[in-house]
Amino acid sequence: MKIKKDIAVSDSGFLFNPVTGESFSVNNIGAAIIGYLKQGLSPKEIPAALVKDFEVTETMAERDVQDFMNMLMHFQLMEP
């Protein structure tokens, strides 16, 4: 599962879906998760990357990534 390729994300965390016209603002952790997804990391690999780049425990990172992935799916921003 990966983020749809035409989704545009700015450095400030502004996310735009050109197919639906919807836009979202995400915080710096959300922007980082989207960045990892765009680099090709799988959702399972992302908590470790977050632990490396942010001051966060692995348990918390796993939970946050799961929540965030659910949200991305809910807003149809992911594709198989």
Stretch that binds other proteins, among 11-19, 26-34, 44-52, 54-62 (CB under 8 A): 11-19
* Residue 80 binding other proteins, by CB under 8 A: no
Stretch that binds other proteins, among 14-22, 35-43, 45-53, 67-75 (CB under 8 A): 14-22
**C-alpha span between 56 and 78 (Å, rounded):** 25
DSSP string, 39-51: HT--TTTHHHHHH
Binding-site string for other proteins from residue 18 to residue 57, where x marks contact by CB under 8 A and - marks none? xxxxxx----------------------------------
In the complex, which residues of this chain contact other proteins (CB under 8 A)? Answer: 6, 8, 16, 18-23
